[in-house]
Structure 1
Amino acid sequence: MSDWLKLLLLGLLSIVFGVFVLGAPVVASIAITATVGILLLISGGLQVVGGFSVEGTGNKILSILMGAIMLFLGWSFIAHPLQGTISLAMLVLILFLAGGIARVFLSFQMRGTAYFWPTLISGVLSILLAGYLWSNATAELAASFLGLLLGIEMLFNGFGLVFTSLFFRSADKGNAAA
């Protein structure tokens, strides 16, 4: 399977899941918090167990300490889902910002093609979403707004991936003709 087709399928999946998330943003926020909590518990437990086999006292202590922190965070997300959702809202803000900046830079590599503007707009909208979340990050809004923002970001990411895949496909066709 070619790279552009993989990107296209990934983009379409992101669009489909974005629509599902937008249909139930509160459920999505809680599910995200619970999933992250469970993953932190699992990885923290594995980190603690693995820490006992690490060479060197300093490395052993650091590894076990990191595992304990991950265990605490996982337990905290599960025991206090609202606070976990607010914490994850801040993390998503950072991811929106980073993804938006990356798409803006990518768009300038597509200058002169039909994919420049859609990719640029996708990146700018992600950056604007990050700014909006930063200015409205309260406990009341986080319960539903995190899911809503995540769904919108998934749509933007999906469209960005679709446009990127089409750009790669057209570049492959251009290289094959030359």
Structure 2
Amino acid sequence: MSDWVKWLLLGLLSIAFGVFVLGAPVVASVAVTVVTGVLLLIAGGLQVVGGFTVEGTGNKILSLIMGVVMLFLGWSFLDHPLQGTLTLATVVLILFMAGGIARIILSFQMKGTQFFWPTLISGILSILLAGIIWSYAASESAALLSLLGILLGIEMLFNGFGLVFMAFFVKNAPNDETKQA
């Protein structure tokens, strides 16, 4: 099987999963929360074990505290996945808002360059998106439960289309033998 066909199949699979995830965003959001919980448990356990090997009392205490916090969060996400999903969705909203503010500030440092307007608009759109999601979530709590799944589904669609386009690019690109001739 040629490389371009592999990329094409991977892209189509990503698109199919993206459509599936968008069809059940709450289920996908809870799945993201469960995976995050498992990863936090693993990271917390490793952090606690690593805490016993670091030098210095302050470093040891900080490492152990961080490990225990990660263990607690992981356990909490697994024990209460719907509440964990709301927590993660809220964190995503905060990151959208913070990222938008940071890009707006950065854009003014780029004033007079070709990057000013795209960076400014990007920041404004992130803040508007966070505001829209927040206002919608205030009236309907299921919106936050769906947020992670919707974002995951959209990302899978974008990734899938990107892989499909790359597959056709690889198919139509001249190979090394043609370049050498």
Structures share fold, TM-score greater than 0.5: yes
Residues paired across the two proteins, number: 150
Other-structure match for 2:146: 144
Please report the TM-score for the alignment, with normalisation by the length of structure 2.
0.62
Structure 2 Cα separation of the partners of residues 163 and 23 of structure 1:
24
Q: 1:156 to 1:144 in 2, by over 3 A?
A: same
Q: How far 1:131 sits from its partner (Å)? A: 5.3
Flag the 1:151–1:89 CA change in 2: closer, same or farther, 3 A: same
What is the CA distance between 1:176 and its match in structure 2?
Answer: 3.9
Q: Could you say which residue in structure 1 is the equivalent of 2:18?
A: 18
The residue number in structure 1 matching 2:156 is 154
The corresponding residue for 1:135 is: 132
Deviation readout 1:65-116 (Å, 9 max, x if unpaired) = 2212211221232344334213333555659x8xxxxxxxxxxxxxxxxxxx
Counterpart in the other structure of 2:104: none
Q: Which residue type is aligned with residue 53 of structure 1?
A: T
User: Which aligned pairs between 1:8-157 and structure 2 lie closer than 5 A?
Assistant: 8-90=8-90, 132=129, 134-137=131-134, 138=137, 139-157=141-159
- 2:88 and 2:176 map into 1 onto residues whose CA distance is 43
Distance 1:63 1:79, change over 3 A: same
Q: Report the alpha carbon displacement of residue 4 of structure 1 after superposing the two structures with TM.
A: 5.9
The residue number in structure 2 matching 1:177 is: 178
The alignment's C-alpha RMSD in Å is 3.7
What's the TM-score, normalizing by structure 1? 0.63
Q: Which has the larger radius of gyration?
A: 2
Q: Determine the structure 1 residue equivalent to 2:116.
A: none
Contact 1:129 1:149 in 2 (8 A): no
SS for the counterpart of 1:136 is: helix
Q: Which whole-Å CA distance do the structure 1 matches of 2:19 and 2:41 have between them?
A: 29
CA distance in 1, matches of 2:32, 2:155: 14
